[in-house]
Structure 1
Amino acid sequence: MNVMAKAEKKISSAFIYFFGSFGGILFGYDIGVMTGALPFLQADWHLENAASLVGWITSAVMFGAIFGGALAGQLSDKFGRRKMILMSAIVFMVFSVLSGVSPDMGEASAYYLIIVRMLLGLAVGAASALVPAYMSEMAPAKARGRLSGLNQTMIVSGMLLSYVVDFLLKDLPGEWAWRLMLGLAAVPALILFLGVLRLPESPRFLLRKGDEAQARKVLSYIRKNPAEIDQELASIKETAKEERQANQKTSWSTLCSGKYRYLVIAGVGVAAFQQFQGANAIFYYIPLIVQKATGQAASSNLMWPIVQGVILVVGSLVYMWIADKFNRRTLLMVGGAVMGLSFILPAVINWMMPNMNPMTIVVFLCIYVAFYSFTWAPLTWVLVGEIFPLAIRGRASGLASSFNWIGSWLVGLIFPIMTASMPQEAVFAIFGIICILGVIFVKTCVPETRGHTLEEIEEQGTNHGRVKASNPEN
């Protein structure tokens, strides 16, 4: 026991925050890896004309994630954040390897891979729920905004990593390339597992289980001032008491009550719009999009995912710089407007100039990704974390997450079906219209949360969105 205590004391706060957020790498890697694997998989299994199967293989992870996030949230309250992150890493490793060794059995192979990727999605969904929860419970209040940005940076870094791996493996024989791309996802999962083995449990969970001594010890690793530790322990106790009381007084029907309906619609609506705006259509299918636009083989277009991965990483860093300098609504509306135009303009230009350069659509997609990366991508979860009052926070956040995953799954599923039945520019124009509808939604239905206390935000909900005219800094 003394040896364990000495080992724990050597853990730096930087180590805790790095591996605490490293689950985002897994999340991002699996979002991105299919982008490069899919062209080789299609050729190997002769799925070029099987749009629905391609959609299911791609979106199966997101379908599993719908349930993984909800399941992990409940289990982590019983077993702890750390243990569930470890379990997620194991599940991720196992089903990544099983994806890479998919048997070649004709059409049955596709159904095997769909099922395996659904089970893999349980780990992806769990990571998406557990990592922010663990980080928020470990980070000091003054650093939560930046560490929220760190989680987003980890996710997009995982996507970029998968794009680079796909590019490096593209010259292998087709039947080996996609298998290694999918199977190598086990490597970051193994790194996460080994790193989390040394992480402590969150002090909030420890206090809920009555282990105040251990909670104090964990806080001593990441807080320097003993008075700060005492104050935070008291605050955690008070918050836990309030949450227990709130959970006893609320139910799912409470979300529809007049007092909370406005805020629930706002938070859940933003989470849903983030996915239905079509970002994942680009992330999953960019090589196929370029192939359809230019006629070049998708397997030779794997530099484009790297370009968009770099844009995403840079955008996440830009967000961390501007996060507290502009209102949430302003960034969402500006970002949504540019994203919508980036989707709509290629269709308009193609209608007016039928012989336009086919790469025009790809350039506009890069503009879309750039604005998405520092507006809707990170701000959706910042706003969801701020907008729900304590009494409904657990249920409302879970509902928002579910709608987000449902949107991600549906976009991944139907995009290849849509592009098989209509021009690519028309498909993106539809997503562009959804982006503009998202801007209107933010303008009319979402209150400003930057600089407002939870009580002020709740008052806005009670008054059906009558936003105060006060300066958000006040």
Structure 2
Amino acid sequence: MNVMAKAEKKISSAFIYFFGSFGGILFGYDIGVMTGALPFLQADWHLENAASLVGWITSAVMFGAIFGGALAGQLSDKFGRRKMILMSAIVFMVFSVLSGVSPDMGEASAYYLIIVRMLLGLAVGAASALVPAYMSEMAPAKARGRLSGLNQMMIVSGMLLSYVVDFLLKDLPGEWAWRLMLGLAAVPALILFLGVLRLPESPRFLLRKGDEAQARKVLSYIRKNPAEIDQELASIKETAKEERQANQKTSWSTLFSDKYRYLVIAGVGVAAFQQFQGANAIFYYIPLIVQKATGQAASSNLMWPIVQGVILVVGSLVYMWIADKFNRRTLLMVGGAVMGLSFILPAVINWMIPNMNPMTIVVFLCIYVAFYSFTWAPLTWVLVGEIFPLAIRGRASGLASSFNWIGSWLVGLIFPIMTASMPQEAVFAIFGIICILGVIFVKTCVPETRGHTLEEIEEQGTNHGRVKASNPEN
């Protein structure tokens, strides 16, 4: 036991934060890998004219993630954050390999891959829910903003990694290219599994299970001041007590009572708009978008995903720099306005100048990704983490996550169907209108959370509910 304790004490806070957030790499890799694999898969399985099957193969992961996040959240309360992250890594490894070895059975192959990717989505959804929860419970309060940026950095780094892997494998024979692209997702999952084996359990979970001695030991790895450890233990105990009381008094209907409806609509609405604005249409289909715009084969356009990935990484660094310098609403509205114009302007220019350079739309998509990367991409989850009062936080956060994954799934599913039936510029113009509607939504329905305590934010929602109740015509 003493030997184990000494070994555990060698764990540095940097190691804990790195591997605690490394699950974001898995999330990001699987978002990005299909971008490069899809052109080769389409050619190998002759799916060029099967838009609905292509949409399902691409979006199946997001469909599984809808359920994976909710399931992992409940199981992690029973078994612990660390064990569920380990389980997610195993599931991710298994189904990544099974994706890469998909049998060639004609149309049945597509259905096999859809089912396997749905099961893979369980792990993706679990990672997206477990990593932020683990990080928020391990990080000191003063570092939570930066560490939320670290999670975003891991996600976009995973996307960039998948784009680079796709590019490096593009000259292999078509069948080998897409199989290796999908199968190599098992490598970061293995790294995550080996790293998390050495991670301690969350002190919050340990306290909930009554193991205060182990919780204190874990906090000693990541907190320097003994007085700070005592204060945090007391705070965790008090918060856990309040949450138990809150959960006993609330139900799903509580979310839509006059007291909480305003904040629930704000948080869930922002989470939904983030996906319905069409970002994943770019991330999943950029080679096909360039192919349709220029006539060049999608498999020869795999440099463009790397360009998008670099923009995303730079944008996440910009966000970490400006996160606490500007109001949340300001960044969301400016970002949404530029994103909307980036989608709408190509359609307007194409209408005014029918022979415009086909790469114009790709340039505007890069502008969209740049503004998305430091506004809606990270701020959605910062705002969702701040806006829900304690009494409804668990249920409301789960609802927001579900709507976000539903939006991601639908965009991935319907984009190839839409582009098969109408001009690409028109499809993006529709997403542009949704971006503008998102700006209006933030302006009219979302309170400012920067610089406010959680209690002050809750009071804003309560006061808004009282005003609405007393002035129903408003």
TM range (shorter): over 0.9
Instruction: Describe the superposition over 1:417-468 as per-residue Cα deviations: whole angstroms up to 9, x where unpaired.
Output: 0000000000000000000000000000000000111121111111227999
Per the TM alignment, residue 375 of structure 1 is displaced from its structure 2 partner at its CA by 0.1
Match of 2:311 in 1: 311
Q: What SS does the aligned partner of 1:452 have? A: coil
The alignment yields a C-alpha RMSD, in angstroms, of: 3.2
Instruction: Describe the superposition over 1:228-251 as per-residue Cα deviations: whole angstroms up to 9, x where unpaired.
Output: 000000000000000000000000
Instruction: Describe the superposition over 1:129-162 as per-residue Cα deviations: whole angstroms up to 9, x where unpaired.
Output: 0000000000000000000000000000000000
Instruction: Describe the superposition over 1:374-432 as per-residue Cα deviations: whole angstroms up to 9, x where unpaired.
Output: 00000000000000000000000000000000000000000000000000000000000
Match of 1:27 in 2: 27
Instruction: Describe the superposition over 1:214-271 as per-residue Cα deviations: whole angstroms up to 9, x where unpaired.
Output: 0000000000000000000000000000000000000000001000000000000000
- The question of whether the paired residues in 1 share the 8 Å contact of 2:338 and 2:368 is answered with yes
User: Runs of 4+ in structure 1 displaced over 4 angstroms?
Assistant: 465-474
- The question of whether the paired residues in 2 share the 8 Å contact of 1:448 and 1:467 is answered with no
Separation in 1, partners of 2:219, 2:193 = 22
Separation in 1, partners of 2:300, 2:467 = 51
Cα–Cα, structure 1 residues 222 and 169, in superposed 2: closer, same or farther, change >3 Å?
same
Separation in 1, partners of 2:464, 2:368 = 32
Per the TM alignment, residue 470 of structure 1 is displaced from its structure 2 partner at its CA by 24
TM-score of the pair, normalised by structure 2: 0.98
Q: What SS does the aligned partner of 2:200 have? A: coil
Instruction: Describe the superposition over 1:92-138 as per-residue Cα deviations: whole angstroms up to 9, x where unpaired.
Output: 00000000000000000000000000000000000000000000000
Per the TM alignment, residue 469 of structure 1 is displaced from its structure 2 partner at its CA by 22
Question: Aligned residue pairs: how many?
Answer: 474
Cα–Cα, structure 1 residues 126 and 472, in superposed 2: closer, same or farther, change >3 Å?
farther
Match of 2:95 in 1: 95
Per the TM alignment, residue 471 of structure 1 is displaced from its structure 2 partner at its CA by 27
Structure 2 portions without partners, runs of 5+: none
Which stretch shifts more, 463-472 or 302-311?
A: 463-472
Per the TM alignment, residue 372 of structure 1 is displaced from its structure 2 partner at its CA by 0.1
Cα–Cα, structure 1 residues 342 and 135, in superposed 2: closer, same or farther, change >3 Å?
same
Separation in 2, partners of 1:467, 1:456 = 16
Cα–Cα, structure 1 residues 180 and 471, in superposed 2: closer, same or farther, change >3 Å?
farther
Instruction: Describe the superposition over 1:316-366 as per-residue Cα deviations: whole angstroms up to 9, x where unpaired.
Output: 000000000000000000000000000000000000000000000000000
- The question of whether the paired residues in 2 share the 8 Å contact of 1:200 and 1:218 is answered with yes
Per the TM alignment, residue 4 of structure 1 is displaced from its structure 2 partner at its CA by 1.3
- The question of whether the paired residues in 2 share the 8 Å contact of 1:255 and 1:392 is answered with yes
Per the TM alignment, residue 473 of structure 1 is displaced from its structure 2 partner at its CA by 34
- The question of whether the paired residues in 1 share the 8 Å contact of 2:273 and 2:435 is answered with yes
- The question of whether the paired residues in 2 share the 8 Å contact of 1:276 and 1:407 is answered with yes
Separation in 2, partners of 1:143, 1:472 = 42
Separation in 2, partners of 1:471, 1:257 = 16
Per the TM alignment, residue 472 of structure 1 is displaced from its structure 2 partner at its CA by 29
Instruction: Describe the superposition over 1:182-222 as per-residue Cα deviations: whole angstroms up to 9, x where unpaired.
Output: 00000000000000000000000000000000000000000
Q: What SS does the aligned partner of 1:201 have? A: coil
- The question of whether the paired residues in 1 share the 8 Å contact of 2:25 and 2:158 is answered with yes
Q: What SS does the aligned partner of 2:468 have? A: coil
- The question of whether the paired residues in 1 share the 8 Å contact of 2:100 and 2:182 is answered with yes
Per the TM alignment, residue 163 of structure 1 is displaced from its structure 2 partner at its CA by 0.0
- The question of whether the paired residues in 1 share the 8 Å contact of 2:258 and 2:466 is answered with no
Cα–Cα, structure 1 residues 382 and 168, in superposed 2: closer, same or farther, change >3 Å?
same
